[in-house]
Each structure stands twice: as structure tokens, then as C-alpha cells.
């Protein structure tokens, strides 16, 4: 499960991000929505890993999920603040 979260999900998100960046350059509404989803998915995967990874007998040398969450949460909040402003939302076409 952790391999899927830490390797598979970022790879799939990067493929979607390429399509989304092209849509952002063309000011498409779906691209703005997709970018907000891409800002949320990595944070959500770290939170799910922290919730479902209850290994009381193991000692974790480097708490990867906690470090990633500390880095990704402010970045995700910044993207949400940027793309939900009224001045930015009004520039995108809804199709």
C-alpha cells in the first residue's frame, strides 16, 4: 500500500499535471479545478498514510509521511488561496 501511495500516486498526478498545465495556459475552467485537486491529493495521501499506518511494534527512523505533510500542506493552502480568489476565478472559462 505504501508503494502505491509514495510511487504510483505521484507518477499519475504528474501525468495529469501536464494536461492541467496546458489547460491553465489556455485559461480553461477544468484545468483550474484539476489543479486544486492536484494540490489536495498529495496532502490527502499523507494524511491517509498517517491514519492507516498503525504499527506499534515498529520504530520509524524517518517519519516520511509527517515530513511530507509539513511541506505539502502550506503549498496546498497557497494553491487554494491563489485559485479561489474572485479575480483569478473570473479569468477562467467554464465549459
The three cell numbers of residue 80 are 487554494
The three cell numbers of residue 45 are 495521501
pLDDT at 63 over 90: no
Residue ranges per structural domain of the chain: 2-89
- pLDDT per position as a tens digit, 7-53: 887 788 789 899 999 999 999 999 999 999 989 988 998 888 888 87
Cα–Cα distance list, 84 to 24, 31, 59 (Å):
14, 13, 41
Dihedral angle computed from the Cα positions of residues 34, 38, 44 and 50, in that order, rounded to the nearest 10 degrees: 160
pTM for this model (two decimals): 0.76
Amino acid at each position: 500500500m505504501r508503494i502505491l501511495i509514495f510511487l504510483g500516486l505521484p507518477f499519475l498526478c504528474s501525468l495529469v499535471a501536464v494536461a492541467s498545465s496546458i489547460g491553465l495556459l489556455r485559461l480553461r475552467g477544468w484545468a483550474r479545478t484539476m489543479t486544486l485537486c492536484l494540490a489536495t491529493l498529495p496532502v490527502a495521501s499523507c494524511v491517509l498514510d498517517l491514519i492507516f499506518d498503525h504499527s506499534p511494534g515498529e520504530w520509524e527512523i524517518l517519519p516520511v509521511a509527517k515530513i511530507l505533510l509539513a511541506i505539502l500542506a502550506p503549498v496546498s493552502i497557497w494553491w487554494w488561496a491563489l485559485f479561489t480568489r474572485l479575480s483569478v476565478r473570473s479569468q477562467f472559462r467554464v465549459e
